[in-house]
Amino acid sequence: MNQNVPQGFGDFTDFHEPKPQGSNPLAIVGFILAFCLSPIGLIISLIALAKQPRGFAIAGVVVGLLGTGVWGCVGFGAYVAKKTGAIQAAQVVGAYQLVHTEVEAFRQQNQGQVPPDLATLSGLMTIPPDPWGRAFVYEADPSMTAFTFSSAGADGTFGTDDDIVIHSSEDPDAAGRRLVQEAMERSGFGQPQGGVAPAPAPAPAPAPAAPPDGGAEAESGAADSE
């Protein structure tokens, strides 16, 4: 019996300190992956919950759930942007902004005149093709004070619904909002500007029918007799 233990407390020689728990490598891996590959990290962390210690596994599940939600939102947003044509609209606006800036600089150096064609600017800048790999169409007004910047759209044919036309009077930000709105309307993801169309006004009530001629004559005869 241990001589240093006070009497009345029994023999403590049979008691041992609890063994430290082992590590959970799978939980650590899941926790790390939850930050960069959230869905995979979430799955690994869920599996790691079956083994002690569970600290990293629980943290990996929480981070993985949050990250997977963010990934889902981003993925859905990318799908909607691709489905509606918003990505292509943004690419067109980016090219228009580049041309618009250079044309404004040209205008300041040439008494307010715009360049006659894009070839005049091609030596100063690189004009990218439209999102479908075709060249943009630049047309200067007869007054040489304005221009239009356009693309034939996905079908490559002008005069159809998917044409993209921007007038130089429209600043790039306003053009971007308009093109995205139009793309969403064509795809059915957005409503026309102004919200829901108002309900048609009710039809006016029909005018009361005129009395028959016989009734009018009877009233006239009654008046004459009086």
What domains lie within the chain, and their CATH numbers?
A: 25-84 (no CATH), 86-187 (3.30.700.10)
Give dist(CA 190, CA 77) in Å, integer: 14
- pLDDT of res. 195: 46
Q: Which residue, among 193, 163, 156, 162, has the nearest Cα to 177 in the 3D structure? A: 193
Report which of 51, 4, 3, 1 is spatially closest to residue 28, judged by C-alpha positions. 51
Q: pLDDT over 70 for what percent of the chain?
A: 63
Q: Which residues of the chain have pLDDT under 70?
A: 1-22, 72-85, 122-125, 186-226
CA–CA distance, 93 with 179 (Å, rounded to integer): 8
Asked if 13 and 38 count as a contact pair (C-beta separation under 8 A), the reply is no
pLDDT of residue 168: 92
